């Protein structure tokens, strides 16, 4: 380890994982999780940090030839592995001690169950936010600024909450938003979400930064297709990467694997600043003198800061005939531009409050667009995500014109606590709340909801 410790610089970075030494100098700048975490831990044993969030063979697959440098002292490696396994055992014991999943009656209860045993690092990653977390807090608060106006004396003995999400039949007006690193919470990670989504009839959004290789998730989809007798709903998140050949390869693989739509995430063309998360990672940043007067051109090496509307034709060429949606839109003019460019629709979102802090919430953006141009909401498929935790909140959004609502964190926590059963339980919670709220509102189908059934505080933002 003494030799490894000498390679602790950005221009000379070695790490140890499971007793094996790797040179990551030529890779860290392209790390999807950001370069800072690698640089901060260069020259160290990162077994406990690395293994819980990466599937087997990640290093061998992604590092260039010659990166493996050898083995560390067996005793040091054994100590590191013992610590890792002890932590994994602690988490497993905590999960096994949870009350039956059937006793979970709300999404927040599922989150609390997961947080009762997850490490501080895992919990922070799932619930983390950029800077001061204003946008993350606003996501939850936005729904509380509106209330529902029910109608009475209507026959609601039979209620149908089914709809179409991203062109796919869905049992409910919800879908699983793409969210990375499900493996951080549970050994089966994204597979829990694939199975739970298929077995309840909702659409799964697969993250471009999923824990498991896309090929394995698509194989799990194929198994579910066979089980349920029809293609399950699955859409794939796309990031424009600096290395466009990698974007192309991912998109072609997703299309060949049978995804029904692409969600191009457009609010992450540069990295974020999740201060609390970076603190836990041990990130160190510069404190060097210097006067910077020219343009700032350095960005993270994974996301492509050059992305523009011109790139859409290229993306369409990779997926002929497939629906494409922009994810991470706030402004009405961007929705109009998406329509002009022939896209299927937009997901109004501030990335869960994890990108630009103080960015408007998806629900507030929906309200604003509905007020300014109600026809646009009819002409373009509009979805929202961020902050929704109740079935009644889903119906608020649908009444204002959204086709559906995405939930990310709730499903990450649900699968962390109870695996696939947690995903299914989360769907059943929302299903009960949606059906109950529809009946109490006096509607039997989603298309009976309309803006007149929601009244909101009329803030004035100038």
Comparing CA positions, the residue from 219, 209, 273 lying closest to residue 241 is: 209
Q: What is the average pLDDT value for the chain, to the nearest integer?
A: 90
Residues 235, 207 contacting (CB under 8 angstroms)? no
Residue 354: CB partners within 8 Å, gap ≥ 6?
A: 128, 129, 130, 136, 272, 274
Residues 225, 201 contacting (CB under 8 angstroms)? no
pLDDT at 277: 76
The token pair at 19 is 């007793």
If one counts every other C-beta atom within 10 angstroms of the C-beta of residue 271, the result is: 17
Per cent of the chain over pLDDT 70 is 94
The token pair at 47 is 């077994």
Comparing CA positions, the residue from 210, 204, 201 lying closest to residue 428 is: 201
pLDDT at 188: 93
Residue 351 annotated in active site: yes
Q: What is the DSSP letter of 3?
A: H
Out of 57, 331, 351, 450, the active site residue is 351
Which residue blocks in 301-419 are alpha helix, DSSP H?
Answer: 311-318, 332-340, 362-372, 374-379, 391-399, 409-418
What does the pLDDT look like over 45-65, one tens digit per residue?
888 777 777 777 777 777 777
Rounded distance between C-alpha atoms, residue 149 and residue 143, angstroms:
14
The token pair at 302 is 């994974």
pLDDT at 298: 80
Residues 254, 236 contacting (CB under 8 angstroms)? yes
> For the whole model, what pTM was predicted?
0.88
Confidence check: pLDDT of 395 > 80: yes
Q: Which of 47-51, 348-352, 397-401 has the highest mean pLDDT?
A: 397-401
Comparing CA positions, the residue from 250, 124, 219, 139 lying closest to residue 181 is: 124
What does the pLDDT look like over 245-292, one tens digit per residue?
999 999 999 999 999 999 999 998 887 777 887 777 677 778 889 999
pLDDT at 181: 85
Q: Write the DSSP string, 388-419.
A: --SHHHHHHHHHTT-SEEEESHHHHHHHHHHT
What does the pLDDT look like over 25-49, one tens digit per residue?
767 556 666 555 665 667 778 887 7
Rounded distance between C-alpha atoms, residue 49 and residue 281, angstroms:
9
Three-class secondary structure of residue 361 per DSSP: coil
Q: Taking the mean position of all CA atoms in its chain, how far away is CA 348?
A: 14
Three-class secondary structure of residue 172 per DSSP: coil
The torsion defined by the Cα of 391, 396, 400 and 406, in degrees rounded to 10, comes to -40
Rounded distance between C-alpha atoms, residue 419 and residue 423, angstroms:
7
């Amino acid at each position: 380890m003494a030799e490894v410790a000498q390679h602790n610089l950005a221009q000379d970075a070695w790490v140890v994982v499971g007793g094996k030494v790797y040179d990551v100098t030529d890779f860290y700048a392209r790390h999807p999780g950001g370069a800072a975490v690698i640089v901060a831990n260069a020259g160290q044993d990162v077994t406990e940090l690395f293994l819980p969030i990466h599937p087997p063979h990640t290093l061998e697959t992604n590092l260039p030839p010659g990166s493996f440098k050898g083995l560390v002292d067996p005793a040091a490696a054994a100590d590191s592995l013992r610590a890792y396994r002890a932590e994994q055992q602690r988490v497993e014991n905590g999960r096994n001690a949870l009350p039956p999943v059937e006793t979970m009656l709300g999404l927040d209860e599922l989150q609390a169950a997961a947080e009762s045993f997850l490490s501080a690092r895992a919990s922070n990653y799932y619930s983390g936010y950029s800077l001061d977390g204003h946008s993350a807090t606003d996501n939850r608060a936005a729904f509380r600024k509106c209330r529902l106006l029910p109608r009475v004396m209507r026959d609601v003995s039979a209620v149908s909450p089914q709809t179409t999400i991203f062109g796919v039949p869905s049992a409910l007006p919800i879908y699983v938003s793409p969210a990375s690193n499900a493996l951080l919470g549970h050994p089966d990670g994204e597979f829990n979400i694939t199975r739970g989504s298929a077995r309840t009839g909702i659409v799964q959004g697969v993250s471009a930064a999923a824990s498991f290789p896309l090929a394995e998730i698509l194989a799990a989809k194929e198994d579910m297709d066979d089980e349920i007798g029809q293609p399950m709903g699955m859409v794939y998140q796309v990031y424009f990467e600096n290395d466009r050949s990698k974007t192309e390869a991912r998109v072609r693989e997703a299309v060949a694997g049978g995804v029904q739509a692409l969600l191009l995430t457009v609010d992450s063309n540069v990295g974020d600043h999740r201060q609390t998360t970076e603190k836990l990672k041990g990130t160190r940043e510069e404190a060097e003198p210097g006067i910077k007067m020219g343009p700032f051109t350095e960005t993270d090496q994974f996301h492509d800061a050059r992305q523009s509307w011109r790139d859409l034709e290229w993306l369409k060429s990779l997926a002929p005939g497939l629906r494409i949606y922009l994810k991470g839109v706030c402004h009405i003019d961007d929705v109009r531009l998406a329509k002009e460019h022939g896209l299927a629709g937009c997901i109004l979102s501030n990335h869960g409050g994890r990108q630009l802090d103080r960015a408007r919430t998806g629900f507030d953006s929906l309200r604003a667009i509905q007020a300014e141009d109600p026809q646009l909401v009819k002409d373009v498929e509009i979805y929202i995500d961020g902050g929704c935790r109740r079935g009644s909140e889903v119906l608020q959004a649908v009444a204002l014109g959204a086709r559906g609502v995405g939930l990310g964190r709730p499903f990450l926590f649900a699968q962390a606590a109870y695996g696939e059963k947690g995903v299914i339980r989360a769907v059943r919670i929302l299903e009960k709340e949606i059906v109950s709220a529809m009946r109490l509102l006096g509607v039997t189908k989603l298309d009976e909801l309309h803006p007149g059934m929601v009244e909101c505080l009329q803030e004035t933002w100038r």
